[in-house]
Homo-oligomer: A and B are copies of this chain.
């Protein structure tokens, strides 16, 4: 599955590349608009992540040019929240979806998966661990056939842990993936959400789904605890 990222902020570009490669995507990066357009026309991608604010040629122009050239690769646009460029304009120029900065990696991944699914290029994803199932598409979580209501954040944390089931995941990794790239708050928030998840997923069932590895991070038990 090939992805093209067109983004000039190196930090974001690098983070996206890293994350997507870890998910098994083949990733190319272009750091400005003209280069992005060139790469998109020369290679066949399954999806393109396209920033709007770009040096040289902005994202709208890139998107427009591609569509005029009859290139229908799904495009996910990245827009800044603070006006200047309009969200809706993204869809007008032929983008398939957009995401406003700042955003978290799991949300981006979900959107990309959604685009791929719509274009019929990928199989559905459902995570399982023992009697626990998590479905990012329908946003449903159930354990032992009882449905568990989760808030957006709780769900995102759980989804990330499920993707890395069995592995030790550090708190900073969770923070980097589930919260905004720009998040500068108290890292203790991760502990708080683990607490929420344990309360909803462990206590009613008398089991331990999420282990604490002191000094290293957390580990989701792939057998469901």
Contact = CB atoms under 8 A, between A and B. Distances in A.
A216 B13 CA distance: 27
B215 A18 contact: no
Contacts of A202: none
Given A22-B118, A70-B29, A152-B216, A95 B139 contact: no
Nearest to A9: B92
Contacts of A95: 14
Interface in A193-225: 213-216, 219
A15 B94 CA distance: 8
A188 interface: no
Given A137-B168, A139-B213, 18 more contacts: A10-B64, A10-B92, A11-B94, A13-B67, A15-B91, A18-B96, A21-B118, A21-B120, A24-B120, A29-B72, A31-B67, A31-B68, A137-B167, A138-B167, A139-B216, A139-B219, A151-B215, A152-B215
Interface of A: 10-11, 13-15, 17-18, 21-22, 24, 29, 31, 64, 67-68, 70, 72, 91-96, 118-120, 137-139, 151-152, 166-168, 213-216, 219
